[in-house]
Amino acid sequence: MRLALFQPDIPQNVGACIRLSACFGVELHVIEPTGFRFDDRAMKRAALDYGPLSHLVRHADWDAFQAARGPGRLVLFTTKAAQRLDDFQFRPDDTLLFGRESAGAPDVVHAAADARVFIPIRPETRSLNLSVSAGLALYQALNQTGALP
């Protein structure tokens, strides 16, 4: 199982996902360009000392990510999905993909996804934080596939 972020805007979210990668033993793929300098101190502070324990792979762009992705389904998390997180059947080789905080995922990413999933929240709210969403989805997927540490 892999976690992937499409052109993230906020370094603290990437830092938190680095921690998810380290704590759950999954690869983290960051698809550039990002909305920040990758050596930004805020991202390093958010990741704390978990960086060496994670497996971070950076991709120059969407095409580079697609070329290197490997086998398995691309599962896009989006508010535009019809399938609920708790109803979706994950597989051990899935890549869980999250769009940009400010704009979500563009049409080309939606078109490439094998599945689109949403995390149900109260209707009067807009969305969860990216790293919170990634943590919920990753835990559900790992638990469902029996891959929790």
The pLDDT tens digits for 43-74 are: 666 676 777 788 999 999 999 999 999 899 99
User: Which pLDDT band, with edges at 50, 70 and 90, does 26 fall under?
Assistant: very high
Query: What pLDDT does 85 receive?
Result: 98
Whether the link from the prior residue into 8 is cis, omega within 30° of 0, is no
Q: How confident is the model at residue 42 (pLDDT cuts 50, 70, 90)?
A: low
Which residues sit opposite 97 in a β-bridge?
A: 4, 76
Q: Which of 18-32, 39-53, 85-99 has the lowest mean pLDDT?
A: 39-53
- Tell me what pLDDT residue 116 has: 98
Helix runs in 30-116, H state only: 41-47, 62-68, 107-112
